[in-house]
Amino acid sequence: MTAKISRRSFLQTSGVVAAGCSIAPSGLHAANKNTIPKKQPHIIFIMTDQHRGDALGLINPIIKTPHIDQIGKNGLIFLNGYTSTPSCTPARSGLLTGQAPWNHGMLGYSRVARQYPIELPRLLRDSGYYTFGIGKMHWYPQKSLHGFHGTLVDESGRIDDDGYVSDYRDWFRLNGPGKDPDKTGIGWNENRADTYKLPKKLHPTQWTGETAIQFIENYDLENPMFLKVSFSRPHSPYDPPQEYLDKYDIKDIEGPVRSEWSEKFASEKKIHSPAFGDFGDDFARKSKHHYYANISFIDDQVGRITDALKEKGIYDDCIICFTADHGDMMGDHNHWRKTYAYEGSAKIPFLMQYPKWYDSKREIGTEVMAPVELRDFLPTFLDAAGTSIPEKVDGSSLLSFVKEIDPEWREYIDLEHATCYKPHNYWAALTDGKMKYIWFIRTGEEQLFNLEEDPKETSDLSVKRKYHKTLEKWRERMVAHLEERGESFVKDGKLVTREKTLLIGPNFPDKQWSNKEALSYWKNETNKAFKML
């Protein structure tokens, strides 16, 4: 049971710190103090799809990612990087808008709005940048620009628009006439793994890297560039070329994490695309072997991209960031894929390299423990561009950690996902990177994990009397977080269970897209994934 508490009172008494910049009367964040940029740097934003936060050599020496690691070694390594809504489209909505899920309106997997009041590429374009996107965008319509001057898109074969063919698939037809881009035979949400059955040059990872390099080589504008490079892997299919599998000895690869609390998920039906189930250590290791190999394949492309920046003579004038939209459970706790609050799903790589001429207060390679999230990239890039940040942006500039040793920052970050895979999988969570509290909205269950002592989340502390006060503190924080949503979420100072899923919130800008339509879309997408098997 929790005492009644208002959001205003909670924020005044809990010690939550400001988000790193003050609010100007004009409706824009005031310019950050100690502004660094004397000129606008190029911004190179590299992201992957379904990439676990621990799947980097910086975190796990087994994994071969020297080029990605170097981005962090040359800048900052954020060890508590999260994605607030860990599936593709809501994560990318937060990245696009710089907003929390409630404010951009997508609370689970659905269709991205046609246009948002705040859009990162458009704001950078208005600030003088030439903006270009390559790879997976996962927008609707699929060739939407959202402010980019142009995009060349790879959508993993997904077709949401009648007659749509991605730029990668058109390129494939040109360079592999008559060949089947899906010859490996694994669907885009399967857990099986196999070697890529075509020449490496035709793989979408190679195409994405090569296209980015061509863009850099051809760039001759005086304007700074904003280049987004979005790889569609290591998201399944787990299909690396053999040479990247050869970088690993499967004997070195760990099996899935098991826990007492997750035994109830072990006996799900054995199909190729499950959300839950224990398939055995050998199966999980094989999937993880191919998953890591896909990451090393991407790492080679990142190295080629940074080499192209150096050859162009602009490498030292770049902000380079590396992240992902969400993680991949890889069988941990008998969970597969994403949409969960657990570290394998919600924690992501988070690295930032900044120009050498920045007057940094920190040593390069510094590890930052503060909780950061995808919403923080938009204000970071606007800060770098010397542009005011819209008031309705919820994120804060990561450059605060360059300018100051101990900047004001949020105490914890919010996570959530509307129902997906199973009715119980409807939750909201809070974490500061040290503790994590999860509230299951439909069932009223709770979980509490000590991430410092138990980073693999094997022991649920919510059932232990010793942690009663800690559980109560985090529950009250959740009350304060959710109470703005009304009495269907919080009533009389207590969390409320819901029978119905709210997938699209009232702040979603596309008013023609109702919660009912969004739920229907989600069901159709799920059915399509299973029909591919």
Encoded tokens for 169: 């698939």
Instruction: Tell me which residues are annotated as active site.
Output: 88, 138
Per-residue pLDDT reduced to its tens digit, 354-404: 998 998 989 999 999 999 999 999 999 999 999 999 999 999 999 999 999
Query: What is the predicted pLDDT for the residue at 269?
Result: 65
- All residues at 6 or more sequence positions from 383 whose CB lies less than 8 Å from its CB, including other chains: 32, 35, 389, 397, 399
Per-residue pLDDT reduced to its tens digit, 13-52: 333 333 333 223 234 454 444 556 579 999 999 999 999 9
Q: What are phi and psi of 126, to 5 degrees?
A: -65, -20
CA distance 503 to 353: 35
Encoded tokens for 471: 């559980």
Query: What is the predicted pLDDT for the residue at 273?
Result: 66
**Could you give all domains of the chain from N- to C-terminal order, each with its CATH number?**
32-411 (3.40.720.10)
Query: Is residue 298 pLDDT above 80, yes or no?
Result: yes
Q: What are phi and psi of 525, to 5 degrees?
A: -60, -40
Q: 124 by DSSP, 3-state: which?
A: helix
Neighbours of 425 (CB within 10 A): 21
Higher pLDDT, 521 or 475: 475
Higher pLDDT, 503 or 32: 503
3-class SS letters over 406-449 = CCCCCCCEEEEECCECECCCCEEEEECCCEEEEEECCCCCEEEE
Query: What is the predicted pLDDT for the residue at 124?
Result: 98
Decide if 338 contacts 332 (C-beta within 8 A): no
Q: In the chain, helix, strand, coil percent, each to 5?
A: 35, 15, 50
Q: What are phi and psi of 195, to 5 degrees?
A: -80, 145
Q: For 230-239, 271-280, 512-521, which range has the lowest pLDDT when averaged over its residues? A: 512-521
Q: What are phi and psi of 345, to 5 degrees?
A: -95, -40
